[in-house]
Amino acid sequence: MPTRILLVEDNPGDVLLLRQKLKFIEGWSYELGTAASLGEGLQKLSEAPWDVVLLDLLLPDSSGFKTLEAFIGSESKVPVIVLTGMSDRTTAVKALQQGAQDFLVKDGLEPEILERSIYHAIDRFRLLQKIKDEEERYFLVAMGSHDGLWDWDLRTDRVHFSANWKKMLGFEETGIGDKLGEWLGRVHPADRERVWKDLSDHLAGKTPHFSNEHRLLGKDDRYRWVLARGQAFLDQKGKATRIAGSFTDITYHKNMEQQLALRAFYDPLTGLPNRPHFVESLKRAMARLDRGPAPPFALFFLDLDRFKAVNDQMGHQAGDQLLIEFSQRLKSCVRPSDLVARIGGDEFTVLLENLDNRREALEVADRILTASQVPFLIGRKEVKAGASIGIAYSDCGKAGIDGLMQAADAAMYRAKALGKGRYEIFTHGGPGGQKGMKHAS
């Protein structure tokens, strides 16, 4: 069955661009529907089943996270991938927290990244939906029947913990006593004050029920995430006499949330920081220079010289393996404090901070060029790739982050134009003037 994609985008140019990117994905059957407004998108969502929604947050009749909320809150259960022209870290995190399955920046979006994002979003959403449905069913049928139960008698200050509660933490039936400290004493120090406040507020009648997510220390000295729920029982004077509830182990869900958050700022193929992550790091480096005297830094733009040939002749899987191998070599050529990122396709960046002198950056560039000339073993075949590097120093950053990145990019293209397998340094008069190691492609 073809994958049914609903694109909610009011910019005809972006619609056309995305159509073209989808066409570049080989061996994939899909149907693409489009909507140019929030109202039209929700209408189409209600009229037919869709596998995934690609959503621009800025529409003629809605903007920002209200757009996302409308789709997440619709009766149609469908994963949503946010498409945006901005590479803003805060926006990405908030979109994921509000239920988006992924966050993609339109600029430089590669077909293979779009394909992976759609497949992963659909699979992940179905898994989460299945888990959510099961959790609701268990809770409604028998609250706590598969969870840990607890019952705190406020008059005697004793707490009954069920066998499942103890088993959740790795203890036998007799391994935990009946004091409140058996629970609160195991709460992670960073969560303890919040747990006690939520408990106290509910017992004081400030909240209708108790609900809190926190970490508990198990017998194996590892913390597990739990969702604690509870309801207080009042006497005739309205005073709480006991509170009972359940614990649900949500470690898996928390780990998944962290993975989704990481996905917003790390390249899923190589594990390197992605463009939004790199831009944020570059902003911080430039801000330190703006605050006063600081050691200079260098920005590298790198491009594999024969990546397209490998992709075309050996297939995308071989291309992916080449990117992974190159990223590992790249990391081995820099200091632990330096930042290496993949910003799209076969384009990489390196941020070298706290330089003693410019020669230090050129030594790193020479190491990278040397490493890139060593043949890569892709499958059982040796492949020569090579790389071209553009270098811009921090004193080129007076035009801002975009200007600095454009300078390094221009220097890289100059290196490719002059024969590849070399580096070029951007000067205020333009790229050029410095030669790195040469290699015949």
Residue 395 DSSP code:
G
User: And the tokens for 327?
Assistant: 């990223």
Contact 316, 115 (CB under 8 A): no
Scanning the structure block, which residue is given the tokens 């037919």? 48
Contact 296, 393 (CB under 8 A): yes
Answer yes or no: 402 catalytic: no
CA distance 271 to 188: 29
Decide: helix, strand or coil at residue 13. Answer: helix
Residue type, 4: R
Identify the active-site residue in 10, 198, 267, 346: 346
Q: Please, where are the H alpha helices in 292-344?
A: 307-314, 316-332
Contact 400, 414 (CB under 8 A): no
β 223-234/210-217 pair status? antiparallel
Rounded to 5 degrees, what are φ and ψ at 354?
A: 55, 50
Compute the half-sphere exposure of residue 19: CA atoms within 13 Å on the CB side of its CA: 12
Scanning the structure block, which residue is given the tokens 């661009």? 17
Catalytic residues: 346
